Amino acid sequence: LSLTKRNEENLLCVFDLEGNSVNLTCSSDANPAASYNWYRGKDNKLMESNKNLIFNSINSHDSGQYYCTATNNRGQKNSSVSVNVTYAPRPPSVSRSPSGDIMVGKSVTLTCSSDANPAASYSWFKEGEKALKASEKSFTITNIQEEHSGNYYCKVQNKLGQHNATLSVTVVAVPLMYVLIGTIASILLIMISLLVFLISR
């Protein structure tokens, strides 16, 4: 029992590009002639009762393990093939934590995610700047300042293509009221400490 996996160029291959036409062909030398069934995965889902299993436009959901059975009244043989469908990154989703405006001195984490095969690489940039900010899914800015405000974009890419997604970051100064409260609290604390010191003498 032998298996061949053919695309439009009749090449034996394991990886197929999404959208291609793919023909899995099962053949066996048998007398009397064998009947063929194609199954998918461990759940033994019957896909086709034919020696050919055809995908007119293969997609990522078609990736998986397939096997063919050749059967006649003298017995049965099985053989399997793994299908791995490759595709460019899907449009990425981006998020920010925390999600609202960020106060000066705080931290913010930008996260980017995309589905791709082969796996995508990630790059973070700030609009108007050429320098790479990060080469991971997540990018954290600590002790953030007002000059960090702006649009950041994530680029995801593999050998089949790329996509970008943009995220806005707004940094706000600490409200004056908070500054005044902090200052007054500090002065009071100093005065109380001084008073306690004088009384204890």
Per-residue confidence at 28, pLDDT binned at 50, 70, 90?
A: confident
| Rounded distance between C-alpha atoms, residue 145 and residue 156, angstroms | 27
Q: Is the fold of 2-86 the same as that of 93-176?
A: yes
Q: Cα–chain-centroid distance for residue 44?
A: 29
> pTM to 2 decimals?
0.73
- Inform me whether the pLDDT recorded for 176 exceeds 80: no
Of 37-46, 167-176, 179-188, which gets the smallest average pLDDT?
179-188
CA distance 128 to 126: 6
Closest CA to 62 of 48, 76, 79: 48
Could you state, in order of their start, the residue ranges of all structural domains in the chain? 2-86, 93-176
Q: Which range among 77-86, 99-108, 171-180 shows the weakest confidence by mean pLDDT?
A: 171-180
pLDDT above 80 for 155: yes
Q: What is the mean pLDDT of residues 66-91?
A: 92
Mean pLDDT of 64-76: 91
Q: Is the pLDDT of residue 80 over 70?
A: yes
Q: Which homologous superfamily is 93-176 in?
A: Immunoglobulins (2.60.40.10)
Fold for 2-86, please state it.
Answer: Immunoglobulin-like (2.60.40)
Tell me the average pLDDT of the chain.
86
Q: Rounded to whole angstroms, how far apart are CA atoms 180 and 145?
A: 20
Q: Which residues of 75-86 are buried (b: 16+ CB within 10 A; e: fewer)?
A: eeeeeebebebb
**Token pair of 151, please?**
């649009």
Give the residue, 171 or 1, on which the prediction is more confident.
Answer: 171
Residue type, 57: S
